[in-house]
Structure 1
Amino acid sequence: MGLNFDKVGIIYNADIKGAFETAQKIAKKFNKSKLFTSDKMGSDVSFAIVVGGDGTILKAARKYAKYDVPIFGFNLGRLGFLAQARPEDIDFVAKKISSGDFRIEERIMLECKLGHKGCKTLIALNDMVIRGAIFSRTSMLELFINDSPTSAYLADGLIISTPTGSTAYSLSAGGPILAPNLDCFTITAICPHTLSARPLVIPAKEKMTVKLGEGNKFQITADGQDGVEISKEVEIQKHAKAAKLLLLNSSNKGADEFYSVLREKMHWGKAPQSGGSG
């Protein structure tokens, strides 16, 4: 697949040590490139290279999804689940991209329209989280799918996750791991005060409505970054645009590569090491 290198945007997180220096080194590999901080990302780019952690990549994904701009991540953060490379891989990455040895993978996103006639829209690549603004109190939340009553929760909150986000907050709350190419969402309660609340996986075409208990203040956050206080029901559905991630080809392609990343970065499915023969 061809890629337009006429307007390469290199996005770096200025709060991460070494990000600016790494961005400068990457810029030398692409003649027509421009540097932006993650707080002031340019819109007129054809391809975005992101230097930072998963949070920086999520922010760039929300920014560039509407422009159909593919993004590639260099990890300078902790887990780096969404990034394929480290700073020491710059030469290798530049060679793979310039030779066309990559693929563009689309990831579905979530959307929530708020305010009068949807004047404000939140979008998320990982998840939408609804919880009480007062963190020490549980909240009553009612879930409707396609306007049909589905479940009521007395819980700290509710996580609605994409397959990409299934390895993030949803996983820590007991949600399932989903392969990123699936067209579905997961709904997971945060610390529910019941033994019957279990994660729910639904087709991405469904409309989700969450009605909020009276008397409490609530907030909804997208990818843990964009947050809005809410006081009544909210509707969440699949976003019209998908995030486009540029992924380098390897011997393990597609879903097989995803499982390898699970094992390498999250130590998923690895048996405990024996302490000895005893």
Structure 2
Amino acid sequence: MCFSNRMWGDISFFSIGEGDWMTKKVGFFVNTRKENAPQVVADVSELLKKAGVAPIVADEQAEDLGLKLTGIGTAQMVEDVDMLLVLGGDGTLLSAAHLPKIETVPILAINIGNLGFLTDASLAELKPSLRATLRGDYRIEHRMMLEVFVNSQSPQPFHTFALNDVMIRHYTRLIELNAYIDGELFIPYNADGLIIATPSGSTGYSLSCGGTIVEPQLEAILLTPIAPHSLTVRPFIAHGDAEIKVEMHSTYESLDLFIDGQRETHTLTREAEIKICRAKRTIQLIRSRSHSYYKALREKLMLGERIK
């Protein structure tokens, strides 16, 4: 069942006095392909130990980081820790969003790569940001997620979640789709594909395809066509409690469904029916007091930059 609650996106602000912070365990989720990842993990682990906090790295990543195995898997780590430290970029954070029970643990995301639009701080800001977090000097930003239900014969019916977006497309041809909002036909699409995105995903692939930027505290669902075959088809923003249903009318035997890029990929038969709505679960992002979404838009996406 789709979750419905008409409200603005929730941001929780709170501060805990120094000495009252209850974090005892911090888990790591790392882009182990980054050359500097092992050293960053070692440095942060030492900082945490000095603060009386236990650093935990799951076995799935420990070996790649040159660390001893502890017998703790990623799923168990997420359940055990009080905070998850994500070291990488936006892709690493999106991967973390698909971990089991990730909605139960606050995430501090640090960019140790290139753009890092969704992350809270850069590598240079890592230690000050972590110290502030351990003092309780931060805020929690709840990011909306999508829940996806697929009713099909092949594969079997399934459901999943997305933090950024859901994409339907055929790699080589135009596809025909009918989109319904709350049970009513919205418009038919004849396009390379269709992106259904959250406000968090509005600065991702949706933006590249002409979608608008939506402030992440709003609850909304974006429908952005990919290269539509008509000038009358435009991106659209539905309300956050909308139930989006997509039916495929192409003659091709199958189409592809992508969840948060390629975090999940599914090949669907043309009879498949896809329903997408706001999920009850959210992602808890730890934000420093100085973090500014508008500043990130200006500095990282060059929004409003004059072209000379």
In the superposition, the TM-score normalised over structure 2's length comes to 0.81
Contact 2:202 2:214 in 1 (8 A): yes
Q: 2:40 is paired with a residue of what secondary structure?
A: helix
Counterpart pick for 1:190 among 226, 239, 256 = 226
CA RMSD across the alignment: 2.0
1:217-258 deviations in Å (ceiling 9; x for gaps):
1111111121111121211111110111000111xx6xxx21
> Within 1, Cα distance between the matches of 2:188 and 2:61?
38
Return closer, same or farther for 1:214/1:192 CA change in 2, 3 Å cut-off: closer
> Within 2, Cα distance between the matches of 1:195 and 1:214?
20
What percent identity do the matched residue pairs reach?
32
Give the paired residue count.
266
Say if 2:279 is the partner of 1:239.
Answer: yes
Say if 2:74 is the partner of 1:33.
Answer: no
Task: Give the drift of 1:113.
Answer: 2.1
> Within 2, Cα distance between the matches of 1:119 and 1:8?
36
Say if 2:216 is the partner of 1:180.
Answer: yes
Task: Give the drift of 1:139.
Answer: 0.5
1:129 maps to 167
Say if 2:229 is the partner of 1:226.
Answer: no
Contact 2:151 2:274 in 1 (8 A): no
Return closer, same or farther for 1:197/1:65 CA change in 2, 3 Å cut-off: farther
Structure 2 runs not aligned, ≥5 long: 1-13, 63-72
Contact 2:165 2:197 in 1 (8 A): yes
Amino acid at match of 1:126: N
1:19 maps to 37
Contact 1:38 1:56 in 2 (8 A): no
Greater shift in the superposed pair: 139-148 or 15-24: 15-24
Return closer, same or farther for 1:166/1:56 CA change in 2, 3 Å cut-off: same
1:75 maps to 111
> Within 2, Cα distance between the matches of 1:116 and 1:175?
29
Structure 1 runs not aligned, ≥5 long: 274-278
Amino acid at match of 1:220: L
Greater shift in the superposed pair: 109-118 or 96-105: 109-118
Greater shift in the superposed pair: 155-164 or 227-236: 227-236
Q: 2:300 is paired with a residue of what secondary structure?
A: helix
Task: Give the drift of 1:94.
Answer: 2.2
Say if 2:217 is the partner of 1:199.
Answer: no
Task: Give the drift of 1:67.
Answer: 4.1
Contact 1:64 1:70 in 2 (8 A): no
1:190-231 deviations in Å (ceiling 9; x for gaps):
000000010110111110000012422111111112111112
> Within 2, Cα distance between the matches of 1:66 and 1:11?
11
Task: Give the drift of 1:62.
Answer: 2.8
Say if 2:179 is the partner of 1:143.
Answer: yes
